[in-house]
Amino acid sequence: MKRTTYLFLSVLLCLVSACQNYDEPEPGTKSRRTVIVYMGAENSLNRYSVADTTEMANAASKVPKDVNYIVYLDGAKYPNIYTLTAHDGLKLWKEFKKDQDSADSTVLLNTLKEIANEFPAEHYGLVLWSHATGWVNRKEAKRRNTILVDNNRNSAASNAGSEMNISELRWALEKFNHLDYIFFDACFMQSIEVAYELRKVTDYIVGSPAEIPGEGAPYEMIMPALCKGDAAEIANQYYNGYKDGDGVVLSVIDCSKLEALAKKTAQYIPTLWANKAELNTSGVQYFIPFVGGNSYRPELYDMNSAMHKYLSEEAYKDWKPYLEAAVPVRKATPYWYSIFYEGVLTDPDYYSGLSMFIPNAKYEAHQWNAQFQTTQWYAATGWSQTGW
């Protein structure tokens, strides 16, 4: 994830001094909002975590007094929890004495509960920061999982280790307080399969259906929106930070509209893909290509682009308002950075910023068609009637 390496020394000195002398928080009344930034950086993104926390520290003056801004950081050393305030800047609150697997759903849940217990609020926002692969399980991962890489080595080089799949993430968040938003500062998380799984634990999801820049979010720019709980403004300011540079693809999902979208989509899926049909995807916007033998992930197709291609004009007009209600904010530059290919917005008129999986026989070797059958989106939208 981070954009520049400026002020690394200053933030490191700040963190070191905080380690030497810090106070336990005083129990208090509920704040307006607690923002929790959960950074899974025990992997190759570790260097970007320093730049991102530097940006957060630089934006400390933008944190209101009635907002708790808490950073859990698991990088190349043991995890730590920091507070960020306008008065004290970035300050160490808890120093862990041993390592823990931050990609374990129980660790995530316990961490969130501990923070909420000490920093209670009327509203909560969650930033999940790490590597991610969307809903698709990775074969090489320890538990075949999809987000929050922890190599369990305190290493800044290896990405081989534990990850968390989306059902585990849902399990943890169902046992936590309801969230105003989840902001995925991680690649490929803005898929209908992920969103539908998490629809009951949060009001809004902010993220990208494609890769995000290694530098990640411009935290100095999005800090006010994070603290206000303004999902649309998080996406807008993130976009503004990259529109004249490497580029980025972003959207906001309104989770309250997803069940209506699923119900409407279920009217068309069984017919479109009847008898295990394989539909031509030529011309459909995708956010990553599939190369034969690539076990990383399948193509991730833009949902609006795909349904526009496959539905009749009348059916598309019937279906489109449900998608637009579910994805009220859609931002994309013409090009964006990708380590896999040149990211290009090929179908801008029908871009939605929300990816969908389209089954295909070529995915059988990777078990992605079978994995798709385990998603709640599959069950809700009539895919079981197609034979896929």
Provide CATH 3.40.50.11970 ranges for the chain: 8-254
| Strand 179-185, strand 202-207: pairing | parallel
According to the model, what pLDDT value does residue 35 have?
A: 98
According to the model, what pLDDT value does residue 133 have?
A: 85
According to the model, what pLDDT value does residue 82 have?
A: 98
Which candidate, 157, 365, 385, places its Cα nearest to that of 268?
385
Q: What Rg do the C-alpha atoms of the chain give, in angstroms?
A: 21
Full-model pTM = 0.91
Full pLDDT tens readout for the chain, 388 residues: 544 333 333 444 344 334 333 343 454 579 999 999 999 888 888 888 999 999 999 999 999 999 999 999 998 889 999 999 999 999 999 999 999 988 899 999 999 999 999 999 999 999 999 988 888 875 544 444 478 777 777 767 767 778 888 999 999 999 999 999 999 999 999 999 999 999 999 999 999 999 998 889 999 999 999 999 999 999 999 999 999 998 999 999 999 999 999 999 999 999 999 999 999 999 999 998 886 555 567 899 999 999 999 999 999 999 999 999 999 999 999 999 888 788 999 999 999 999 999 999 999 988 899 999 999 999 999 999 999 9
Q: Residue 258: helix, strand or coil by DSSP?
A: helix
**CA–CA distances in Å: residue 29 to residues 66, 74, 91, 180, 226:** 10, 28, 21, 20, 21
Amino acid sitting at position 290 = F
Return the CATH fold of 8-254: Rossmann fold (3.40.50)
According to the model, what pLDDT value does residue 354 have?
A: 98
Rounded distance between C-alpha atoms, residue 284 and residue 304, angstroms: 9
Rounded distance between C-alpha atoms, residue 192 and residue 171, angstroms: 18
| Strand 343-344, strand 335-336: pairing | antiparallel
Contact 125/179 with Cβ under 8 angstroms?
yes
Q: Residue for token digits 């720019």?
A: 221
| Cα 81 off chain centre by | 20
Contact 116/109 with Cβ under 8 angstroms?
no
Backbone angles phi, psi at 154, to 5 degrees: 50, 40
According to the model, what pLDDT value does residue 14 have?
A: 41
Rounded distance between C-alpha atoms, residue 273 and residue 170, angstroms: 29
Rounded distance between C-alpha atoms, residue 270 and residue 273, angstroms: 6
| Cα 306 off chain centre by | 22
